[in-house]
Every structure is written in C-alpha cells, then in structure tokens.
Chain A
C-alpha cells in the first residue's frame, strides 16, 4: 500500500485495542445516506516508475525554449546549491515554527531573510513573506488604508505603468473594503507615469503606488513622485524588482523621506519560473508601521539561559489570535521560497547581486542595439530601461509570438492585450537577463527579422 506501513497483524491489534471489528466501523458516525460509493473517475494507481516516465514525457513535450519573456517572472541563473539545501527534509518537510525550540533552523533563516529584504529595500522591517508580488501589492494597499487614517480617504492612485495583471489581483483582493483604485495614465513618449496628469489630482488619497522599474521596463522618477505624494498627505508604496535594487536607489531612500511600504516579487532571487508559482511576495515597511504588517514576523530574543534564539513575534496582529480583527487572513505563506531567497542572497552577496544586475542591463542594451537596425521595429519609449523594453511590430504581435514559438523561442509578452486602447498596438515586452548569451541574442534578432519579413511579405501578396 503506497506510503502506509501497517502490517495485517498490526491492523488487527489496533482494531482490537479500539474495540471494533473493522476499519469501516470507524466511520459509523457518518450518516449512511451521505456515504459515497468510491472514486470511480480517479485513475487506478501507478508505480513510481510509471509516473516518472509519464511526467518526463509531459515535461519534454513543453521543452526548454529560449526565454525572452519577463513581465513579473524572470529567468535568472539559480546556483545549484540553493535547491540542494532548500529541499533537505529538515526544511522541506517542517511546518510553521510554532514550537520555536524545535524550529530554530527555519526561524533563523526567516530572521536572515527579513534582514536581507530590509537591507535591499532600505526599509526598517520586513515580514516573513507573502504569496506573490501581486497579492503582496494587494496587502500593501489594504495596509496603507489602515495606516493612513489621517488622509480620510480610501482612494489609491494606481499608475497604468503597474502590471495590468497586478492591478487585477489588487482589485480582487481589496474589492470589499470600500477602496477605490484610480488609474493614472502613462506618458506616451516616456512610458512612465504622466506626472502632469498626476499633479492635477485634487481629491485626497491614501497612497500612491510607484513601480520601479515599471511594467514597460522603464525607470520612474521615483524621488519627485515620492516627495509629491508625501506633500499631499498620502503614503507611498514602492513596487520594486529586487535584482534592480542592486543598482537602483532603494525605496527607503526615495525622495526626502523614503517610501512607507515596499513590496515586490522575490522570484528573481533563486526561484524557478515554474509556470508562475510558487513564487514569493515580500513586504517591508517603516518601523512605525510594524504593527500594521500582515503575515508572520520572526524576532530575535533569548532563552532561559540568556542564549540568543528566535521565535514568531507580534502574533497579536494575526488571525489565530485576533480572528476577525486580524491585519489579514494570511496564515501559511511561502516559507520554502523564503529559504531559497535567503540562500540566493547569501551565495550572491552584495557584489554578486550587483554583477547579476549589471549583466542584465548590459545584455538588454545589446539586444536593443541589435533590434534598432531591424526594419519595421519601433521603440515607443525614450526612457532608460533596466532589463525589459517595449517594441512595436509592423505586423500582428500574436502571430509573431506564435511563429517565434515554432523556432523554440518565448519571444516576450503581447502587451497590446492590456494597452490597445492606449495606442500601444502590436507591442511586445521583451526581457533579457544575465542568462542570455550573445549568440542567444543574435539568434533572437535574426529569427524575429525573418518572422516579420515572412509575415509582412505574406500580407503584401
């Protein structure tokens, strides 16, 4: 029997101790009319060898294409040691560290994670993780409204330069709290927040979200934006890419005061793409907001002998204590992913992360230079980018993506599906990280040129 160690003699002994004749009798409190008659539509069991063969075939069916897509999920090199260690049974098969003395490994890892996230973002404190970047932004919006009662407003200014998918997730999460999400348009020439339109805002608002770099890969003028929002009595939520923070100013130092809450997706730090999850949202804030943070928090303390140790703390914010008055319903978060992220940052260190980030910038520039000489490809935005950029194509973007897929390339993301009414037609969002070699980029540019030529040539016939 898979994973059940009982011998028939043990079963007999156990039943006799309980005082029943059969296992079936143990279900006698379930009303008979509710009992189900089996699981006919579930296939019969397969051996580990059979399942391995089946899954290997399925994974090979999807292949290992050359990836130039980003948009919130990024391919980076993952040092081999990370998942060797993170999947050690002692990390992999433990749970939330309720018994602190028997969970010092997990607890210290989370404390180190919190320190690294706080460091990276330039904030005072971090929690132990949230589900993903999008839901972390949702929690940040809820938190800013809780924390900024002075604004007397439940309005959030959400730039169109924040990923459309993130905006949709936030809308789902905050829908029943009377919060309004007002979209601010982007500047057509720069692909960044339209600061003139932003400054026309006269109604009060609780918080402004600032993405850096933004969904188009462009860099926002974070200092001006942060100071302006603070002058209006609003909070600032910085939505940041953790790799970019190796080179770009930390949200804790934006403008004169820094942001109030920083969130983002930590998947780039050692987590495989894996079809979109499991990833890991992070959230850090200023010290004075710590009691408004959702999720687990680990603190350093001492034991009976005065020896340092770690335990879950500030639990009075959480659902298992506060129930209906908790800061969030979150319980289990992304512990194993926080472990992997901590390992990644420890292996890379300050210098390593800077090199990864610099390599992303350099490779992205290299591909931009290659595509600039391609006929028919336009660059709608004139702003500096980190590791993503937008091009517009002289033909149908979906057809281009499909044709590139036939050449085993994930060409990028069709962002016209989100921005068509903003004049971005046949627009492709492309990402280049340190994992792409010069040959990869040349192959991409050549293939794209060929695909466009085939498609437009076909159209002319």
Chain B
C-alpha cells in the first residue's frame, strides 16, 4: 500500500492531476467568457491553447501541503548554512505585515493614505543608519545582489561625476561571494582578484602592488567569508582612500558584528545589508530578500530613489527632483516594501539591547561549535583565529583517507535530520564546510549536531560506502545532476506531453 501511495500520489505533478473537462472552482467570478471576448479585437485573441491545470480546490491544497513537507526549513530543522544566517523568523513579523492596511495598499496611493507605512520605512532607515554607522540609507534594492549593484553603481557615479574616468578596476578578494565580481562587471568594471594569506586576512603586500589611479574601489566582506575578522581593515581603508578609491562593504556577515563595530567606523563608503539574514525576514525558498544600502557623506547625492523623508510632520517620497545625481530607480516602486516592513517589526522587537545580543550569541554559538568540532578531531581551517558568527571545517583529511568528500558528509547529515552547512564555498579551502549556527539555536541542538558529525566520521572510517550512497531517508536519493543539465527537462508540457 505504501508503495502504491508513493508512486502514484506522492510524486505526482499538479499537471498530472488535471482534467480539462473539470469545471472551474468557486474562486473565479461567474461570467460568460465568450460573450466578453467578442468585444475584443479578433486578431489579438489567444488562439493557442492555455495549458493550466484544472484541479479541485482540496486537491490543490493537499498537493502543495504535501510538497511543503518534503522541505527542510528553519522551522523544522537545524539549518547551519554558512553565509546565509538561517535564524528564527518570528511569526509576528509576517502576521503584522499582512494587515489589510499594509497588504492592500497600492504603491501609488496618495501620500495622505500612506503615512502609516511611510513612518515605518522612515524609522527603519534611521535604525539601519545607527546600526551601521552610515550617513544615509536607501531601502529600495530588492536583494543583496541588487544592493551590491547599487553600491558599485554609486561608486561609478561618484567617479564619473568627478570626471575621474581612468578608474576602471574593482578589487575583489579571492574568497568573496560570486556576486561581487559579477556585480563589478555589470557596472562596467574589470575585476582584480586579491589573494588571501594563510591567516585568512587579505594579502596586504599584494594589495599594495594592485592599487593606483586605475582603482575605482574594493569590495570587502568583514568578517570575511572565511569567518574571521579582517584585522587590518583600517590600514586597507587608508590605502584605498589614499589612491582615490572607495570601499564597498558586503553586508552578508553583518549578523556577526551588530552593535559591536560599525562598517561606517571601519572606513567604508558604501554598504549593503541583507535584511533576510541579519533582520530575519523570511528566506522563502530563495527570496524575496531586501538589500538596503547605506553610504558615507560623499556618496549621499547618488543614492537610489525613492527614499522616505519627513517635513513638517508629513512623510513624503524623495525623488530625482531632490536628488538629481541619483543613480535612479531599481524597482518599479519602493523595492520589497513588505519585506522592509517585516525587518522593521523585527527591529522593534529586538530593540537596541536585543540587537547587541544578536552578535554576542551568534559568535558564542559559532565559537562553541568550532571548539567542539576541534575536540572531536575535525580539522579547522583557521585554528589560530577566533571565529566570527561562522567558521570553516576542512574535510580534506577524511577525503584522502576514506574517500568521503564534503558532499558525502553533507548528504549523510540530511539522514541525521540536519540541513548541511554550505559546502565547497569559499573556493579557497578544500573540501570545506562553512558552518553558521546563528544566535537562535539552543546549545542542546548544537550538541546534537556535533554528535551527528562524530557518528558520520565513525561511519566514514568503518564503511565509507554508507556516506557515498547517502541520503537514504529523504523523499529522493542522490540526484543525477549531470542528466539534469544534459537532458534538459524544464517544462512539463514540453517534455512530457505526447
């Protein structure tokens, strides 16, 4: 019976549940479609078939509820995905963001009908300025990568405005997120890759050789993607500023330093923040995010619009009229306003005291896990360094001795009920696990995670095949990625319809 259930129901696509003779549900208005289409120009009407599934309401509910149960998530599993800050998403943030006054507001509603939401956004701008030490914040970028684009576009606008067009290069450390070099290219820059030394800091001597009148700026993450604080940040900032370049701060790891040190004080000219990381808005299976940017005084004129301003007790939108040097619009309206609202609610709930504790307990959890793994015989990538909110294990020894690589460990962890850490990033460290527990995890769960890794290590020693075939307990076994790319099947009706 179980077998039948699995093959027939569990793997079904919504399209396979469809029957085009089924009548539509009560969700749509009752109307004679043919009568209406007669009023439209015949030659523009749809002649091609509209292949959307006809399925009953309960069957749709059940289909997607069952699909949700095939996911690991923060609400169901420890999810130590390094660099992604998978912390608890308080439910109240979602509940309040869906209040009718917020959810139903049209983006072009008159400002007299918008003072409530605008006050939230204005206060969020101010809180983010304080948290980062930047002079002004614009909330419009819709994700971290768009925040990066915004930041580098502002650097470019600044140099262009100063007629400083010899600056053609952006420096990016080799450990950086892939979005950094991709962004620099979108802004028309050449990328110079900066090496990292064996302590996890950037190679200052290499940087000295690299900079000059061609340097537009540098993009840094601090703490870096290696999970350590860049100790010479002030020296780097001075070096870049001396040659006329600007510093970009990738806020991916802001969770590690909230309230402890501010990017503005480190000398950064522009930063982006990932609100879906540090400010706990939902990751949603891959977005939506929000990537506000903050700037120092010299980049203020170039901020993207719209922003919220306050005058005589009334909130209003700042546009290009007030900011003629703005790099412009990044979204049709106010970015991911509903996500910004969730971040605002989270910030109110934490308050200044709670924000300081974010960094403290994120760092405590990471350093505790690091020590427990070291004690359990795992190799730490930078053992001499203090971990920030995350750290790196390298499984190269295990790969060599037992033939079990980082991916095998990751897949076996799934069987033990843990989402795997980030694997094979940063690219510099072989067979690596980037582990970020976040502040909202309890010690007992961290202990269980270590225990699972110890058991897997034992399995690797005794029967490495067990790891190589994992996982066993999930809806599917290991998937054939090569087939996925070679025999593309991206569209059910194209690939499966006769």
Contacts and interface: CB of A to CB of B under 8 A. Distances in A.
Contact of B143 (A85, A332, A356, A361): A332
B41 interface: yes
Contacts of B337: 274-278
Contact of B52 (A120, A276, A336): A120
Contacts of A97: 285-286
Interface stretch (A65-73, A143-151, A438-446): A65-73
B352 A277 contact: no
Interface in B449-472: 469, 471
Interface in A23-48: 23, 26-31, 33-36, 38-48
Contacts of B401: none
A85 B65 contact: yes
Interface string A230-259: 000000000000000111111011000000
A406 B110 CA distance: 10
A249 B287 contact: no
Contact of A18 (B22, B81, B113, B371): B371
A173 B186 CA distance: 8
Contact of B48 (A62, A133, A249, A276): A249
A44 B360 contact: no
A181 interface: no
Interface stretch (B202-210, B238-246, B257-265): B257-265
Given A46-B348, A168-B328, A273-B106, A63 B101 contact: yes
Given A41-B130, A102-B414, A301 B483 contact: yes
Contact of B187 (A4, A93, A176, A265): A176
B53 A313 contact: no
A107 B159 CA distance: 43
A295 to B, nearest CB: 10
Interface string B53-87: 11101001101110111111111110101001011
A40 B127 CA distance: 10
Contacts of B33: 247, 354-355, 358
B68 A85 contact: yes
B361 A39 contact: no
A122 B55 CA distance: 21
Contact of B488 (A132, A313, A321, A351): A313
B351 A34 contact: no
Contacts of A290: 488, 490
Interface string B2-32: 0000000001011100101011110111111
Contacts of B381: none
Contact of B115 (A34, A61, A90): A61
Contacts of A316: 485
Contact of A273 (B107, B234, B410): B107
A320 B231 CA distance: 26
A265 to B, nearest CB: 8
B421 to A, nearest CB: 10
Interface in B279-332: 282-289, 304, 327-332
Contacts of B234: 31, 33-34
A91 B70 CA distance: 10
A300 interface: yes
B266 interface: yes
Contacts of A359: 28-29, 31, 36
B167 interface: no
Given A99-B72, A115-B491, A52 B92 contact: yes
A200 interface: no
A104 interface: yes
A81 B55 CA distance: 14
A35 B153 CA distance: 29
B225 to A, nearest CB: 12
A43 B348 contact: yes
Contacts of B288: 131, 277-278, 280, 332-337
A89 B178 CA distance: 28
Contacts of A4: 357, 361, 439-440
Given A64-B104, A172-B330, A347 B27 contact: yes
B105 A273 contact: yes
Contacts of A298: 490
A352 B335 CA distance: 30
B478 interface: yes
A79 B24 CA distance: 14
A67 B50 CA distance: 29
B108 A69 contact: yes
Interface stretch (A5-13, A201-209, A388-396, A451-459): A5-13
Contacts of B13: 108, 111-112
A297 B354 contact: no
Range, interface on chain B? 35 or more
Interface residues of A, number: 204
A421 interface: no
Given A30-B229, A247-B37, A301-B480, A135 B96 contact: no
Contacts of A41: 126-127, 129-130
Contact of A61 (B53, B88, B116, B347): B116
Nearest to A314: B485
A240 B361 CA distance: 48
B23 A351 contact: yes
B414 A302 contact: no
Contacts of B328: 168-169, 171-172
A303 interface: yes
A77 interface: yes
Interface string A200-222: 00000000000000000001011
Contacts of B1: none
B105 A102 contact: no
A346 B99 contact: no
A428 B364 CA distance: 57
B399 interface: no
Contacts of B485: 299, 313-314, 316
Nearest to B65: A85
B217 interface: no
A410 B108 contact: yes
Nearest to A89: B75
Interface in A261-299: 265, 272-280, 290, 296-299
A183 interface: no
Given A99-B420, A118-B494, A331-B179, A36 B260 contact: yes
A61 B103 CA distance: 13
A60 interface: yes
Contacts of B184: 324
Give the 6 A-B CB pairs with smallest separation, nearest first: A276-B333, A45-B351, A89-B75, A336-B284, A59-B101, A335-B286
26 contacts: A4-B357, A17-B375, A26-B364, A45-B350, A51-B348, A55-B120, A62-B116, A90-B73, A94-B74, A99-B411, A118-B494, A119-B50, A120-B50, A131-B142, A173-B186, A276-B335, A277-B335, A278-B336, A278-B339, A301-B479, A316-B485, A326-B178, A332-B283, A332-B287, A346-B63, A349-B24
Given A103-B71, A245-B46, A336-B282, 12 more contacts: A30-B257, A92-B94, A94-B79, A97-B285, A101-B475, A125-B490, A169-B329, A300-B489, A300-B492, A313-B485, A319-B181, A402-B110
